[in-house]
Structure 1
Amino acid sequence: MKFSVLGATSLLALSGVVALAVKFGYHPVESDPNILNAAQDQVFIAATADSNLAWLPAANVRTTVLLQAAEQEATGTDYCQDSQFTYVDIKRGRVEGTAAQLFPRPALSLSKLYIADYVLEYGTSDEIQQALLMVRNSDDDIAEKLYEKYPNSIDAVAMKYSLFSTYSEPAGWGYSRTSTYDIAKFITLLVESNPEHPILKAMENAAEIASDGTPQDFGTAVIPKIKGTKWGWSNDHNLASSVSFGPNFVVAAAVTGSEAQLTQLVEYQLGLVRSNPSVRSSEVAAPGVETAAPDAEPQSIF
């Protein structure tokens, strides 16, 4: 596994954050690269590998989240106010994202994907059909009924897929937490295990209008060659998120803002991914469009 980081680094600020984390009783893993990137809007390579996706070890994720929590206390930085963006290039084994991509934030209706996964394994045939309808229509009423019966579903799925920033909240499914890194990892694992997975098919056949009347056409869904999407938004439309998959890639984004602002974030961050200097210019193309590289290395989908 190879780690590399893009963006500004402030070792002085970092030392203060580390001290706070130690104060909280946690000693960070040495050489965790993610904590070094102070630029929230910069894309960095979380991990690369010649084959298979190199997901970050649990210790690295926990270290990063604890350090960011410490930084919040020390500086007033609110990572839940920051945008998140994660891009997974399945073919090259590349995971890219913003420095805040690991931080738990409101899962919104993306949590319905976790509930559906649990119901697919433990629910009745009727509940399974309801769960898939819930994903397609983002139906809150169905989510309420399923979560009432399976209150441990989100935490169980987080454990099943090693989603270390995902957990439930006592207030209900709509208040659960996840990160763009976790939801992108979850969808990637489904794609890799079964491209015809029922959850993926439900995302492919999402309704144009959700059950509450919200158009499902924003965020990561605007990227060319997207096959399926699940969206999330708060009742006041001050929070928005989405996760999508296409040929050999998965992308997730979240923002404190409107659905239109989420779309703007996606377009901006995708531009950073395409311009990443770690990707040869001959490989840069629209998502889902593969171009020939000058050598035999794996091709990019950018």
Structure 2
Amino acid sequence: MPSRSASSYSRAVTTAVVCSALLVTGCGRSITTDITNVVLKSPEELADVDRTPGLSLQGFEYKKQAKRTFDHLPYQYTYVNLRTGKHVGSTNERNSRRAQGIVRLFIGHYAFTKGGEKEREQARRMLLHDDNAITDELYSVFPNSISWVADKYQLDATTANNYWAYSQTSSYDVAYFLGQLLDREPDATLLAVMRERQSLNPQQNYGSGVLPNIIGSQTAESDENKEYFSAGYGSDFVAVGAVNTSKTTLTDMMKYQVLGEGKPYPTETEKPSASETTSATSTSATLTSRAASGTANTKTAAVTKTATTTATKEPTDY
């Protein structure tokens, strides 16, 4: 797809906001979103600003981690409904793993916030086309972008690397970041570009991107084509997953864990055996499931498990 000029910022962005009961691929209506002059604010600046009605970050049950733990399991997932509080997450959802191209969300958000017209257009093309060359250039201009986002949005598992693809994050961090944008900055340029990507690049959508009612999405693949990351959001939820297997596996995992449909993943054979695992006590992850009705009498159930890892030494190339 050819590059677009800065003037195309005001083009119509096809979105599935109006189709809450349909898959995004079956939605034919659109709205126009002008992402040219959006000025984003930090969470501190938004402290006294009214949030999106009906949404809340309580489902994340955020508590600052005492220390960072590297994730050695081949999968990770996080789903949070900001309206009902429903939270589905793997026990290792807050452990750090190689971020690959999903950090383009962080670099892009910084560029939309701090950059000029040139950087904003570059960020848009970077996100739409997974452009490594543009990512290299933007990261050289904004080397503190990942750290800035991690600090501003309290992303405890996220750390920057001199090479952006070797930075680390977690499914929880990416979901928490997008959740804060939905809750506090629903007009964020990043969200608009993710909507545009979802509508323009359906062939790139897998994992979270194929869930019903997804409005915006972003995917990432490692150079080795063995690691896959996907992030998506709807009008009131976020869903993020990562696997070290295949696109199909990532899609199967998100469908099974979020919708309860399709092929189970991870299965018992994918989970580490007791003899292979060591306890990661610093990240006792909580998998919380709340009733979807969101009524005053809703009962909540929390299952707390201790996350496990298959090794104690971090890979040298990470």
TM-score, structure 2 as length reference = 0.63
Map of 1:37 onto structure 2: none
Map of 2:219 onto structure 1: 231
- Rounded to whole Å, the distance in 2 between the matches of 1:131 and 1:297 is 45
Map of 1:220 onto structure 2: 208
- Rounded to whole Å, the distance in 2 between the matches of 1:129 and 1:191 is 22
Residue number among 121, 127, 135 corresponding to 1:129 in the alignment: 121
Map of 2:157 onto structure 1: 165
How many residue pairs get aligned? The number is 221
Unaligned ranges ≥5, structure 1: 1-49, 70-78, 284-291
Deviations 1:217-245 (A, max 9, x none): 21111101110101011122100010100
- Rounded to whole Å, the distance in 2 between the matches of 1:116 and 1:277 is 31
Cα offset for 1:299? 12
Cα offset for 1:179? 0.3
Confirm or deny that 1:179 pairs with 2:173.
Answer: no
Q: Could you tell me whether the CA contact under 8 Å between 2:198 and 2:215 is conserved in 1?
A: no
Q: Could you tell me whether the CA contact under 8 Å between 1:82 and 1:100 is conserved in 2?
A: no
Map of 1:33 onto structure 2: none
Map of 1:257 onto structure 2: 245
Unaligned ranges ≥5, structure 2: 1-53, 262-286, 301-318
Instruction: State the AA in 2 paired with 1:178.
Output: T
Cα offset for 1:155? 0.8
1:208–1:258: structure 2 CA closer, same or farther, 3 Å change rule? farther
1:266–1:185: structure 2 CA closer, same or farther, 3 Å change rule? same
CA RMSD of aligned residues (A): 2.9
Cα offset for 1:196? 2.6
- Rounded to whole Å, the distance in 1 between the matches of 2:138 and 2:110 is 10
Map of 2:197 onto structure 1: 206
Q: Could you tell me whether the CA contact under 8 Å between 2:88 and 2:288 is conserved in 1?
A: no
Task: Give the SS at the match of 2:238.
Answer: strand
Deviations 1:39-83 (A, max 9, x none): xxxxxxxxxxx9832344554x335x44xx5xxxxxxxxx33331
Map of 1:139 onto structure 2: 131
Map of 1:245 onto structure 2: 233
Q: Could you tell me whether the CA contact under 8 Å between 2:175 and 2:240 is conserved in 1?
A: yes
Q: Could you tell me whether the CA contact under 8 Å between 2:55 and 2:82 is conserved in 1?
A: no
Residue number among 178, 182, 188 corresponding to 2:179 in the alignment: 188
Instruction: State the AA in 1 paired with 2:81.
Output: D
Residue number among 91, 96, 103 corresponding to 2:88 in the alignment: 96
Confirm or deny that 1:53 pairs with 2:57.
Answer: yes
Q: Which has the higher helix share?
A: 1
Confirm or deny that 1:266 pairs with 2:254.
Answer: yes
Cα offset for 1:112? 0.4
- Rounded to whole Å, the distance in 2 between the matches of 1:299 and 1:225 is 25
- Rounded to whole Å, the distance in 2 between the matches of 1:188 and 1:299 is 23
Q: Could you tell me whether the CA contact under 8 Å between 2:217 and 2:232 is conserved in 1?
A: yes
Instruction: State the AA in 2 paired with 1:141.
Output: A
Instruction: State the AA in 2 paired with 1:250.
Output: V
1:140–1:95: structure 2 CA closer, same or farther, 3 Å change rule? same
1:93–1:246: structure 2 CA closer, same or farther, 3 Å change rule? same
The percentage of aligned residue pairs carrying the same residue is: 29
Residue number among 58, 63, 66 corresponding to 1:62 in the alignment: 66
Cα offset for 1:279? 4.4
Instruction: State the AA in 2 paired with 1:62.
Output: A
Deviations 1:90-123 (A, max 9, x none): 0023433111100111111110010011112221
- Rounded to whole Å, the distance in 1 between the matches of 2:101 and 2:229 is 8
Q: Could you tell me whether the CA contact under 8 Å between 1:180 and 1:254 is conserved in 2?
A: yes
- Rounded to whole Å, the distance in 2 between the matches of 1:166 and 1:296 is 35
Instruction: State the AA in 2 paired with 1:244.
Output: G
